[in-house]
Structure 1
Amino acid sequence: IDAGYLEAVDDIWAETNFEARINPMWVKTLKFDGHVYSVPINAHRTNWLWYNKKILEEVGVKPPESYEELLEACKKIKEAKPDVSPLALGTREKVWSTYLYDMVLLTTGGPDFYERANTGQIDFANDPTFRKAMERYAALIPYIYPWHATKSWDEAGALLKTGEAAMYWMGDWILGYYLNIGMEPEVDFSVTAIPPNVWMGHADTFPLPKGAPHPNNARDWIQMCTTPEAQKAFNLIKGSVTIVNDVPPDIYPDPYRQRSARDLNSLRAVCDGFHGGMITPAFGSELMDILTKFLVDQDVDAAISAIAEAAERTNLAEACSWFWK
């Protein structure tokens, strides 16, 4: 947008009453200086904790719905089954370390603090809530699969099938993988939201490039993406849910997307940090490195100092100021 590569599609949003058909969070994250430049086609939820039903039932653990319940579940699983890692993680791609970061920000400070932190509107070095969030992240590290650096996101997810791990913090795209490797919903695995009263995730959008060789066709495509019919057809295949609230949740064949769609229509929503674009690519790149190191040394002070320096060096607050306009 700043470089002038995109054209506004305000008229398409207006003609299709699009703003009234989506969660207010999407308006806040997709509108820049009063204009919109794309139409989102789907929504992926990321505050999902997937779990091996058999392991949790054997240990007598209730599916967690808060950070406190998650930490207690980790302790009970580790005590009852020392050879099972309570939490799966794969950091061969370092980005997945930021998903746990989002979780502790959200569950420690709530959605307002979460948005301020991810847009650089806090004093990272001295904010007591941020320190508490990082301490809570550190408390989870002893329960994470120890060889996470060797695993990709899907390989980490497979640890639930083999029984090497009990729970996995991952977006809803893991559902398709579980179905593909023969896991049966509500028999082999299930999912819980943390926290249950907030929907966190991100969207995929179609923008209109400036100077597109076939602008009319491009606009027709983008306008089609606003329709319930297109949103339904796309998301049934993609494994996500519709952005618009006029597609009934019961179209989905699984209970997880049905819940995600209902929650997106009714709950406070926030956009996740790295994939959702709440943080900038420059800050996100540094954050991944900092958290990868943190997963090894568990040094809260060093991590906080490094994050504060990265936020200042990358001008995070200024770069994300658009979010608050």
Structure 2
Amino acid sequence: MKLKMILISLIVLLSIGGLFYKENLSETVVRIGVLSETASLPIIDAYDQGLFDNMAFPVEIIVYSTENAMLYDARINFLDGFLCEPASFIVSHKALSDFVIISSTYKELYLIGSRNNQNTVKLNDVKAVAMGIYNYNQCEFFLDLTIQAQSAIGISMDEILINDTLSRVELLKDNTLDFGIFTSPYSDYLLEHNTKLIQKMSGLHPTYAILTINKTHETSQIDFVEQLLAKINSTSETKSLKHYNYLIHRYFKVPDQVKLSKLPLSTTFDLPDINAMDSLLSWLYNTERIPSKFKYFDLVTELIPLQSH
């Protein structure tokens, strides 16, 4: 009887010990979430160069969304779905990532204007139309279409961009993310603007910060990732991620007080000439960014009623 009690006690102790071991192990794993193909490039390149091999604790890379997601999946063995709207996606998968890299392609609010009626249309409204007509997994193609045809489709931003971005970050307040990386691919102007957003976003949640990277400088991106990993790896507090916000805030020297200035709003843009879009559509078809049944005219037809309201 005594031997039986001893065995039961040992089993209980081992079970409790196993739970603590798993909990401690999970605390030492840093999860990096990537939310677009372009935002993932520096992380993927850093992975290929072996920068993750000598970390003091495991680093998991979760590719939330890329146009070539399966290529990255084969390379790093982490893939979690196809992204259209980042904020809701992060919230629904809030336990997956400690770091989230958000491409401004998806994060910022784009306004498409028409010269004819001087009205603007939020791209997220347009995406909702696209999702309704096609399906959730195909809405990313419209963002590609918009970005590739910037000279034909006017893209502008104003202060509503800030409100929209802040409202999305507001959704992240109660999750487990420690900080995110907000990338800016377009210009120094946007990079400066994103810097102005850092303090606003960081103030929403003490353990959440936003950083900016200019994606036009690929070599500096690798340097950034290498330095970021070195900073993380050098800390003795690997079991807690709460110190990262201060570490990154100090490392990037974010100003304490940042004034938000109103951004210019321009609506004097034409919708693209359908006949001039042949080469772009051909490229989109050939790269399988849009389904073969998709016709650009159909989407423009859906846009016009939106813009007339």
Q: TM-score range by the shorter chain?
A: under 0.3
TM-score (norm 1): 0.25
Return the structure number with greater strand share: 1
State the TM-score, normalized to the length of structure 2.
0.26
